[in-house]
Amino acid sequence: MAAKNTKKRKQAVGKFDRDRQHTLAEAVGVVKAVASAKFDESVDLAVRLGVNPKHADQMVRGALVLPHGTGRTVRVAVFARGEKEKAALDAGADLAGGEDLAAKITEGNIDFDRVIATPDMMGIVGKLGRVLGPRGLMPNPKVGTVTMDVARAVQEAKAGKVEYRVDKAGVVHCRIGRVSFDAEKLINNGRALLEDLIAKKPPSAKGVYVHSVGISSTMGPGVKIDPASVDSSQEEQA
């Protein structure tokens, strides 16, 4: 199977110029054209930023609802009590509760993709840091997952809200949809993510901000995108 996948990948790479920097629209077209897996592959953007994540004032993170969602069914767990718990369930949360939900998680029942909590529940959630943290599930007010408006947070999560955070190498990886999406939907989602990233440029980040942009499907090769085509400030610096 591995040899077969390798052969398909080589054939895909041979269908386009890997050194050429494309516009976002061109790159999306290439990704869709070379995708060959038998399943509906996800499409991801990788953006290398001119920041040093070791410095707190250059940590780039955020969240946004993609215009056309991600094509993924998201299961949401909410830590809340009383009316807020009811509001979360009415909004479509798959799980909601307090100590009872914490007990399930402690026992290893983690059948969800997003955790939301009201501020007063963070004392309980904080004790689950060793379990939720490594999985990237800890609620955080910076991305809107610690909030009193749990109904809205649940609706946004279900609608395709994505969270991103720059890694140690200064790269942000984020899903923007699936290969089965119309090209226009992938372009719109990709543009929305890039605009959000650019808007979050730290004041302390000097020089070129968007160093490189790549797009790929789960099993496909990476396709380069011209940074200047997505960030007008790059052209001004050129």
Clarify whether residues 51 and 85 are in a common domain: no
Clarify whether residues 48 and 154 are in a common domain: no
Among 159, 189, 204, the domain boundary falls at: 159
Q: What is the band of 12 on the pLDDT scale with cuts at 50, 70, 90?
A: low
Among 135, 159, 183, the domain boundary falls at: 159
Clarify whether residues 149 and 32 are in a common domain: no
Domain assignment present for 197: yes
Which CATH number characterizes residue 190's domain? 3.30.190.20
Strand partners, 49: 210
**What's the rounded Cα separation, in Å, for the pair 117 and 93?**
12
Clarify whether residues 43 and 92 are in a common domain: no
Residues sharing a CB contact under 8 Å with residue 89, sequence separation 6 or more, in sequence order: 78, 96
Clarify whether residues 39 and 98 are in a common domain: no
Q: Closest Cα to residue 49, out of 238, 226, 210?
A: 210
- The whole domain housing 82 covers 76-159
DSSP calls for 143-192: GT-B-S-HHHHHHHHHHTEEEEE--TTSEEEEEEEETTS-HHHHHHHHHH
Q: What is the band of 90 on the pLDDT scale with cuts at 50, 70, 90?
A: very high
Domain assignment present for 6: no
Domain assignment present for 120: yes
Q: What is the band of 232 on the pLDDT scale with cuts at 50, 70, 90?
A: low
Look up the pTM and report it: 0.81
| 48-70 pLDDT per residue, tens | 999 999 999 999 999 999 999 99
Clarify whether residues 155 and 165 are in a common domain: no
Domain assignment present for 224: yes
Domain assignment present for 201: yes
Among 130, 159, 188, the domain boundary falls at: 159
